[in-house]
Amino acid sequence: MVILEQYLWKGELAMPTKITALTREQRLKIMATLTAAQVQALGEFTRFTILSRFHTRHYLHNTDWVFQGVQVDPWYHMAHAHRGTNLYCDCGRRLKNQFILKSRRTGQVLMLGSAHFAQHAAIPYQVVREIQQGLNAINLYVDRVLVAYQRGQRFPHALYERVVQQHGFAGREQSVFYQRCNLFDQVDLPLLADDVARLRRLLRPDKPRLSPAEKQERYQATLTNWEELAQLVRAFQLRLSQLNLTPQARHRIMINARNYALHRRQNKYYCLDRNEAATLTLTKLRAQVELKLQEISFYAQVTVQHPDQQVEKLHQRAVQMLNKHGRKLVRSRQFGVAEAQTLLA
């Protein structure tokens, strides 16, 4: 084996700096142990990874050429001793990867190997070099898969199934990583350690199953928490009603507090009393706890440095309550907050 030390691109195929590259003889020896489906899968993996790089890196955007596609010969290592059609460059050279380019100006179509991009299509050397580095990274990744296969490693089917069942790939169905996992799963090719770790990160931790008694205990604790928060909100409302404020001002402050709590929430439901709260599910009750915390945050903001001693004590209780729940006192610029501050000044 040859040890290569170089920087490879990071992203879909992130790899360490030091990489083990197989010799041609070693590669052929391992490839001979693969099934036809596994060999074809490695070719398909190479094809869609190249496609992804061309579509995301826009290699040819400053040239006369448009990338039309790529074909990969998975049996290239067998020379002419295999069924199927070989791939060739326009110059007649047999290819492993055949790139299809079309001229923007004339419509001419070229079928080339990457080594002839500069010669036949006048593509700048720096662009060709970057494309070749990407191909080298893909080839080295395949070598690592072959070495892992030779050592007896296979695809982690159980882990992959758990991720799929948990919809861990939701929104990632077009990624090269998902395509690679889906392809290797079908033919039992191994994932590398970095990919297995990435797959594990998509798993959601298993939630412990609670007994009915534990569920009831959590519900009662949440209900008690909501009631404690609701009492503090009512204490603010009561004290503000005793200040020298007009009924309209008191009403505006109360409405602004509720609107502040409901801001950006799709569900505008607001629980009014304990009896009503006790009919909610645990999930909905927790949502009401969040609303009360937002309401308390509103009152804490509008009563900063208020001259009334009782209001100041309520303000301190509100800050303590927010801290207890892991919240910090914010300074919102919403109109409702500014209006309440003006009414209380």
Q: What is the pLDDT of residue 80?
A: 59
Q: What is the pLDDT of residue 134?
A: 84
User: Averaged over 307-334, what is the pLDDT?
Assistant: 91
Long-range contacts made by residues 329-336, C-beta under 8 angstroms, separation at least 24?
329/297, 329/300, 329/301, 330/297, 330/301, 331/301, 332/260, 332/298, 332/301, 334/260, 334/263, 336/256, 336/257, 336/259, 336/260, 336/298
User: Averaged over 53-73, what is the pLDDT?
Assistant: 82
pLDDT for 19 beyond 70: no
φ/ψ of 147, rounded to 5, equals -65, -45
Give residue 139's pLDDT band: very low, low, confident or very high (50, 70, 90).
Answer: confident
pLDDT for 6 beyond 80: no
Q: Is the separation of the CB atoms in 250 and 241 below 8 Å?
A: yes
Q: Write down the number of H helices and E strands in the chain.
A: 13, 7
pLDDT for 296 beyond 90: yes
Give residue 314's pLDDT band: very low, low, confident or very high (50, 70, 90).
Answer: very high
Q: What is the pLDDT of residue 82?
A: 58
Q: What is the largest CA-CA distance in the chain?
A: 97
Q: What is the pLDDT of residue 84?
A: 59
User: For residues 243 and 59, which has the higher predicted lDDT (pLDDT)?
Assistant: 243
- Dist. CA 9–CA 121, nearest whole Å: 25
